[in-house]
Amino acid sequence: MKCDISHKNASLGVAFILLNVLSVDAANALNASCSAKLQVRHFQPQICYSEFNPNSCTDVCASATPSSMPQCFKEVALPCDVVAQMTATATGHQQEGSDTWFHVSDLLDYSTLIGQMNVFQASLFGELYHEYIAMPGDFGFTPASDELRKQNFRLDLLEKIDRESSALRYAAVYRRYSLGLELEKRLDDLLAQMMVDIDRFPYFSSTEKTTLKSELNDNVARQVRLWTLLKRYSLTRISDSRLSYLNRRLSTYATLLEQLPADLQSKMLDKSAVLNKYVDTSLAKCEQGVCFNEIVAPSTTPFYPSFDQQLSHYEHSLTALANEASALTYVYNGDYQTTPPDQLRQPDLAGFVSRKLAEYKAQRTDVNLERLATAINIAYLSQNLTGKETLTQLTQIADVTNNVGLATLETLDSQPILLCKEFQNLNPEMVQIQTESFELGIRAEAILYDMLENGYTDALIAEFESILARLSVLAMRSQVIANVRQFDEDRMVSVNWHLFEPSEMTGKKSLIEIEYFDYNGMFWTPRMPVGLLDLFPTLDGLATSTNSLLPNAIGVNSPSNNLQLKIRQSAFHGCSENNNQINMVVKITDELGVISRQVLTATLDQI
């Protein structure tokens, strides 16, 4: 039976159970579960999740309805008595036609349910790093006015059409002809669907609908002008121009590598071997500097479509590598001005864990014990064992178990990067303290999970307290010798994955759903009521070439079948050995309803 991806994407309705850590009574209550639709939050710009300012940050989902902005909603399964009580009392309960829904803040305010949920990672992260981040927080919901609904509906359509048409415009600029043909089909389909959506939108008058349709058509016409012009040329001329452009890009990249110190140049040349997976250009050090083979058209196979598609994947990787090479020319290299310890602010990692231990000793519950274990994860960046178990289970049913992404560095706000090597040279004792602290953190976490599995014992608590005492000593010493602003964000990490073989490019739509993500000692699954961005406020983007998967970690593939993740980092998080791995599981549903899963991994270089 064929699966209607466009309809499935429009509803973005993925039912999941929110509860993770439950008491027996709560688990039994789920035997009588009811479906509920939740309206989520999505603040823009993206930086709002870590630098929230009510005057400049906007929740673009605030005025959403299921028919106008379906990406702002998700389906959940809850105990029926909870749904009934929320229907009677929730301030965010709304109705439009046959659709009824709640605002996510209604659920987060439901204290009797929250007490039995594994939702405390976000609050613990915010508690530890409150001096470094300003998260949006939880607050009530007020239904939007009709005027705001109209404004946001229009802006949402304009943003979508701009994203799709911009991709086609860039395809024309860089002569990505095969990709452009697929993007053109998608743009036509999107525009046709938007016209239908406008007709169905109940808040516009007939005149307003006509005006908005004209505005969309005019925007598309401007964006695709260059693509329309490109199609007038012969394929031979287009392919020649494409090769010329890519060879210029490759030459520029080689020049960037020649400017790097020998150790960084060697690392980048090793990493550049990934390019040969798509086109063998044999980038290598030579007497003249950095040499490579120019890209030439194949003599035995057609240029279109297969070779052109491979060039698109080659270009993705080349762009990422060039961004990293450029970033590495803008780093601190012996000229970093250290800061006296009394002028530095540092989160109190050991004190943070000590407070959670005191809470557990005051009330020995499994929830408080897992909260303590999670505090260890977040403070010392050890991978959550519950998360590892979830990843293992998903890996067992995955079709691809180790899709390794290309991780690269980029500059953040044009500021120099404090590379890990430089950081280690500036304060070797601090590095030793961190290494020992991370090792102790891993052991402490293992003790706590032993207690979760087998119960509380005085011996285990005594061992844990001895570890915490040592962590406190190390923390006090680090405050005395600290000389680097290691907690200030100064870099962007970008990870690129290809979800299928590099020769594949498709006009068929597939739904991509993130089923698991871990990083920074925390993990996320769709079962958690907190959103991905609420848990990982430094996440700067998660998208294909044409579609964002935010806020609900769901989206449609691009014709080039790529996925890119961007995360802002500090030296502390970017140079910690405990934090050099990112794992993600994606579920892909094609137009026929066939489901496949891939485990996406990336090892961060920590240069």
Q: What are phi and psi of 589, to 5 degrees?
A: -115, 120
pLDDT of residue 34: 87
Say if strands 581-589 and 595-603 run parallel, antiparallel, or are unpaired. antiparallel
> Is pLDDT at 535 greater than 50 in this prediction?
yes
Angle between helices 177-200 and 235-258 (to 10 degrees): 100
Q: Evaluate whether 256 touches 322 at the Cβ level (below 8 Å).
A: yes
Mean local confidence (pLDDT), 555-571: 94
pLDDT at 505: 67
How far apart, in Å, are the Cα atoms of 297 and each of 176, 233, 236, 240?
Answer: 14, 18, 10, 8
* pLDDT > 90: percent of the chain: 72
Q: What's the rounded Cα separation, in Å, for the pair 223 and 162? A: 8
Residue with tokens 């012969």: 234
The predicted structure's pLDDT at residue 12 = 35
Report whether 386 contacts 512 (CB < 8 A).
no
Determine the pLDDT at residue 81. 86
- pLDDT of the residue at 532: 93
At residue 11, does pLDDT exceed 90? no
pLDDT at 143: 81
Residue 19, pLDDT above cutoff 60 = no
pLDDT value, residue 318: 98
138 by DSSP, 3-state: which? coil
Report if pTM > 0.85. Answer: yes
Tens of pLDDT along 339-355?
Answer: 999 899 899 999 999 99
Q: Write the pLDDT tens digit of every residue in 402-421.
A: 999 999 999 999 899 999 99
Is the model's pLDDT at 128 over the cut of 60? Answer: yes
> Over 80: is that where the pLDDT of 374 sits?
yes
Q: Using 50, 70 and 90 to split pLDDT, how confident is the model at 112?
A: low
User: Token pair 């120099």 is at which residue?
Assistant: 416
Provide mean pLDDT across the span 529-558: 92
The per-residue pLDDT for range 287-316, each reduced to its tens digit, is 999 999 999 999 988 999 989 999 999 999
E strand or H helix at 305, and its extent?
none
3-state SS of 464-493? HHHHHHHHHHHHHHHHHHCCCCCCCEEEEE
Least confident interval from 127-131, 343-347, 528-532: 528-532
User: What pLDDT, on a 0 to 100 scale, did the predictor assign at position 114?
Assistant: 60
Q: How confident is the model at residue 531 (pLDDT cuts 50, 70, 90)?
A: confident
Token pair of 46 as six digits:
């993206």
Other Cβ atoms less than 10 A from the Cβ of 241: the count is: 15
Name residue, tokens 């709002």.
48
3-state SS class at 429: helix
Predicted pLDDT at 166: 94
How confident is the model over 182-235, as pLDDT tens digits?
A: 999 999 999 999 999 999 999 999 999 999 999 999 999 999 999 999 999 999
User: Is the confidence at residue 16, as pLDDT, over 70?
Assistant: no
pLDDT at 17: 32
Distance spanning both ends of the chain, measured CA to CA: 49
Return the higher-pLDDT residue of 527 and 525: 525
Query: CA 583 to CA 597: how far, in whole Å?
Result: 13
Kindly report, residue by residue over 258-269, the tens digit of the pLDDT. Answer: 999 999 999 999
What is the predicted pLDDT for the residue at 115?
A: 55
Distance (Å, rounded) from C-alpha 256 to C-alpha 253?
5
Residue 18 clears pLDDT 70, i.e. is over it: no
Task: Please give the mean pLDDT across all residues of the chain.
Answer: 89
Under 8 Å CB-to-CB from 510, ≥6 apart: which residues?
Answer: 5, 556, 557, 588, 589, 590, 591
Average pLDDT of the residues in 439-464: 93
d(CA 120, CA 126): 10
For residue 497, which amino acid is it?
A: W
